[in-house]
Chain A
Amino acid sequence: MNIEIEQQNNYQVVKLYGEVDLSNSRSIKLDIIKLIKSKNNVIVDFTHLQYIDSSGMASLVEAFNEAKENHTEFHIVGANGSPLQVLQLTRLNTVFNLADSVGAVTHNG
């Protein structure tokens, strides 16, 4: 698992690579929540994410809730393959703001 964070326009883009599971979901959550508490709008980029388990999804629900409380934006982009299926299985595709790409959010933002 690898995580890269970079600024694009008014957003902090969190790029996830590899697999999010029980072993790393907590530290990813803490990284994202730290950005949100600093009043950043966050885009979590799933483009290169191969797998995410339900601890990862639950962590993103917590981050999304944090964003709501801080009145910041929280988006998930580029979901495909297994992570997209998990989003659909858990019906979190109806909860999160999903977009195809980082550009689709930053150009509208």
Chain B
Amino acid sequence: MVKPIITVEHLFAQYGDTQVLKDVNLEVNPGEILVVMGGSGSGKSTLLNHMLGLKTPVSGTIMIDGVNIFTAKSKQLRHLRQKMGVAFQGGALLSSLTVADNVRLPLEQNTSLDTQTIDIMVRMKLELMNMAGTGHMMPSELSGGMLKRAGLARAVIMDPKLLFFDEPSAGLDPTTAVELDELILTLRDAMNMTIVVVTHELESVFKIADRVVVLFNGEVVANGTVDEIKNSPDERIQNMINRQPNTYRDDGEVYFNRLLDKDNI
């Protein structure tokens, strides 16, 4: 039996009095593309932030490659983070550095490779992202799609074992979104990366996912293959797939608490 590379167990998170994750459990197997899907406010970004160790939960554990990320020592975490790449939604490039200097940053900070080797690696990754010759450009000169691809180049510059990708196709034109989906599949196939994608873009979900976890109001309401999700009898999932406004509502008490919650702004 394959040992999962990520295990999330009984994860609860809240902002103020509002519970944003409620007993989330999931596993990610090596070499798998897991898509966490959900609408705005479903808790998917909160889940991602917890997986990255950027947030501390109320309770629950996340094990990544055998390390409990909430209790690990800083040296263990540093070692683990070198095996992880993160592509943030808007690319999250440093605006004062060129594209190439952004992409090379993890190598400069974490390795003692020669400058010439690093230069070649940066060019190779920019080529892979179809961004050859853009290394000298500043982030402000790039389109939305190029920013995402540059962010992805930086995320994979160290050939991570595990890649997290936040909303890869959000805000992109359809052609660029398809290109990015292809790239995600290539990274998994050729570099054997395990990839966790957080998105609400259905076309992307159905194209790239080996498995889909659907979050709704902070709860996992489905966990299965693309076909299983498509055929789910759950009304909330069908509404999501068919782009119907979701008529499902919390009960009155949860709604009432949210209206009075000082942190819920």
**B-binding residues in A (CB < 8 A):** 21-22, 25-26, 29, 53-55, 57-59, 61-62, 82, 85-86, 88-91
Known: A58-B120, A58-B121, A89-B190. A25 touches B127 (CB 8 A): no
What A residues does B120 contact at CB under 8 A? 58, 61-62
> Considering only CB atoms and an 8 Å cut-off, how many residues of chain B contact the other chain?
21
B111 near A22 with CB under 8 A, answer: yes
What A residues does B190 contact at CB under 8 A? 82, 85-86, 88-89
A58 near B159 with CB under 8 A, answer: no
Q: Does B50 contact A (CB under 8 A)?
A: no
Assembled-state Cα–Cα distance A86/B189 (Å) = 10
A62 near B191 with CB under 8 A, answer: no
Interface residues of B in 182-196 (CB under 8 A from A): 186, 189-192
Distance to closest chain A CB from B56 (angstroms):
30
Number of inter-chain CB pairs below 8 Å: 49
B117 near A29 with CB under 8 A, answer: yes
A58 near B117 with CB under 8 A, answer: yes
| Main DSSP-derived SS at the B contact region | helix
**A-binding residues in B (CB < 8 A):** 111-114, 116-118, 120-121, 124-125, 127-128, 157-159, 186, 189-192
| 8 A/B residue pairs, CB under 8 Å, sorted by A | A22-B113, A22-B158, A55-B159, A58-B117, A58-B124, A62-B116, A62-B117, A85-B190
Assembled-state Cα–Cα distance A19/B79 (Å) = 18
Assembled-state Cα–Cα distance A53/B125 (Å) = 12
Distance to closest chain B CB from A16 (angstroms):
17
What B residues does A62 contact at CB under 8 A? 116-117, 120
B117 near A89 with CB under 8 A, answer: no
Of A54, A62, A88, chain B has the most CB atoms within 10 Å of the CB of: A54
A54 near B192 with CB under 8 A, answer: no
B192 near A55 with CB under 8 A, answer: no
Known: A85-B189, A89-B186, A89-B191. A54 touches B111 (CB 8 A): no
Residue of A nearest to B187 (CB): A89
What B residues does A29 contact at CB under 8 A? 117
Assembled-state Cα–Cα distance A61/B114 (Å) = 13
B124 near A90 with CB under 8 A, answer: yes
What A residues does B159 contact at CB under 8 A? 21, 53-55
Assembled-state Cα–Cα distance A86/B116 (Å) = 20
Distance to closest chain A CB from B249 (angstroms):
47
A57 near B114 with CB under 8 A, answer: no
What B residues does A82 contact at CB under 8 A? 190, 192
Of B118, B124, B157, chain A has the most CB atoms within 10 Å of the CB of: B124
Assembled-state Cα–Cα distance A22/B190 (Å) = 18
What B residues does A58 contact at CB under 8 A? 117-118, 120-121, 124
Distance to closest chain A CB from B258 (angstroms):
47
